[in-house]
Amino acid sequence: MLLSFKNVTKHYAGKTDVRAIDDVSFTLNPGDFIAVRGSSGCGKSTLLLTAGALLSPTRGTVTFENSDLYALSAEQRARLRAAKIGFVVQQFHLVPYLTVRDNVLAASSAAPSPDAAARTDELLERFNMTHRASHVPSQLSTGERQRTALARALLNQPKLLLADEPTGNLDPENAQIVLDALRDFAANGGAVLLVTHDDRSSGAAQRVMHMSAGKLQTLVGAPLS
């Protein structure tokens, strides 16, 4: 088991009590590729942030490699994220003044590795971005920005990839490149948790969970745990 949610709830108190995640339980193992589908506001992004050690639940337990994720200190969670979790999001979050190569290589600053530069070059070649290595994000197409962000997410050889609508801004060709990379990552022993409302993206996964009002309603492909 890599990641486990056990009766996880995240709620926000206000004029009304909003349960962004409501008593969610599931397990993600190495080699799994799970997609969570649902409309905007259903809790998908909150689920992803909680899985990524970025948002502590109101109650319940999130376990990563048999450790209670939110029993760790903030510093310990930050180190774990840097070394073991990659993020691929629709907005890319590239540093605008860094080149493509430096944007990818920046991931190694939090998890230093002697082969980071060589891996950066390998990933740029894999995603056909070598000829763009010295360009800054404003000089790239949308697809090129996403491929750069994907290379950055893979640099530290994470065990888990968390993807938030990673093909939402892409044309079919670039979307397929991203989805193929996610499938390859899972096929080689990594785990992928993708949140989306898109048929194309969820169709790449082995299992599909449906989320509504913070609850996982159904699962296509296999039991939740």
How does pLDDT run across 67-97, given as a tens digit for each residue? 999 999 999 999 999 999 999 988 899 999 9
**What sections of 62-207 are H helices per DSSP?**
74-84, 100-105, 116-126, 142-154, 172-187, 199-202
Tracing tokens 């990524």 back to the chain, one arrives at 52
Confidence of residue 211 (pLDDT cuts 50, 70, 90): very high
Q: Is it the case that residue 218 has pLDDT exceeding 80?
A: no
Q: Which residues have C-beta within 8 Å of that of residue 182, sequence separation ≥ 6?
A: 33, 88, 161, 163, 166, 192, 194, 204
What's the mean per-residue pLDDT of the chain?
92
User: Are the beta carbons of 4 and 28 closer than 8 angstroms?
Assistant: yes
What are the Cα distances from residue 92, in Å, to 9, 58, 84, 89, 169?
28, 29, 19, 6, 10
β-partners of residue 192 are: 33, 161
Domains located in the chain, CATH noted: 3-220 (3.40.50.300)
User: pTM for this structure?
Assistant: 0.92
65: left (phi over 0), alpha (psi -120 to 50) or beta: left
**What sections of the chain are H helices per DSSP?**
44-51, 74-84, 100-105, 116-126, 142-154, 172-187, 199-202
Distance of alpha carbon 15 from alpha carbon 19, whole angstroms: 13
Q: Which pLDDT does position 225 carry in this prediction?
A: 44
Q: What SS3 class is residue 177?
A: helix
How does pLDDT run across 90-129, given as a tens digit for each residue? 889 999 999 999 999 999 987 778 899 999 999 999 999 9
Closest C-alpha among 143, 207, 151 to residue 181? 151
Q: Is it the case that residue 173 has pLDDT exceeding 50?
A: yes
How does pLDDT run across 4-30, given as a tens digit for each residue? 999 999 998 766 678 899 999 999 999
Q: Which pLDDT does position 223 carry in this prediction?
A: 45
Distance of alpha carbon 203 from alpha carbon 114, whole angstroms: 37
- Which helix (H) or strand (E) segment is 19 a member of? strand 18-28
Q: What SS3 class is residue 27?
A: strand
